[in-house]
């Protein structure tokens, strides 16, 4: 089973990507950057950027925006 995960960002529909795709026990994440309201989160701070990116990914998985595709 393949599951597509969306964060609801407008760019997903505009350019045709998903926040993540899960197939079995493998999850592939794409297109996630440390930008909020057109501002870089944690500029020059790799830890802060990584933490923010993981928060985005976690939020995407915790929403009801997941779709099952057979």
Residue 44's region, left for phi above 0, alpha for psi from -120 to 50, else beta, is left
What is the fold of 2-63? 60s Ribosomal Protein L30; Chain: A; (3.30.1330)
- Predicted local confidence at residue 64, as pLDDT: 47
Q: Is the pTM of this model over 0.75?
A: no
Q: How confident is the model at residue 70 (pLDDT cuts 50, 70, 90)?
A: very low
- Predicted local confidence at residue 51, as pLDDT: 96
Q: What is the pLDDT of residues 1-56, one digit of tens each?
A: 788 877 777 777 888 777 788 888 788 887 788 998 889 999 999 999 999 999 88
- Predicted local confidence at residue 27, as pLDDT: 81
Cα angle, residue 20 at apex, residues 15 and 22 outer, rounded to 5°? 135
């Amino acid at each position: 089973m393949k599951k597509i995960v969306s964060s609801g960002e407008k760019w997903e529909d505009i350019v045709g990507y998903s926040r993540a795709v899960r197939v079995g026990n493998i999850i592939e994440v794409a297109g996630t950057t440390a930008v909020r309201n057109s501002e870089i989160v944690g500029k020059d701070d790799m830890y802060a950027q990584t933490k923010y990116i993981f928060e985005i990914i976690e939020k995407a998985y915790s929403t009801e925006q997941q779709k099952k595709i057979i």
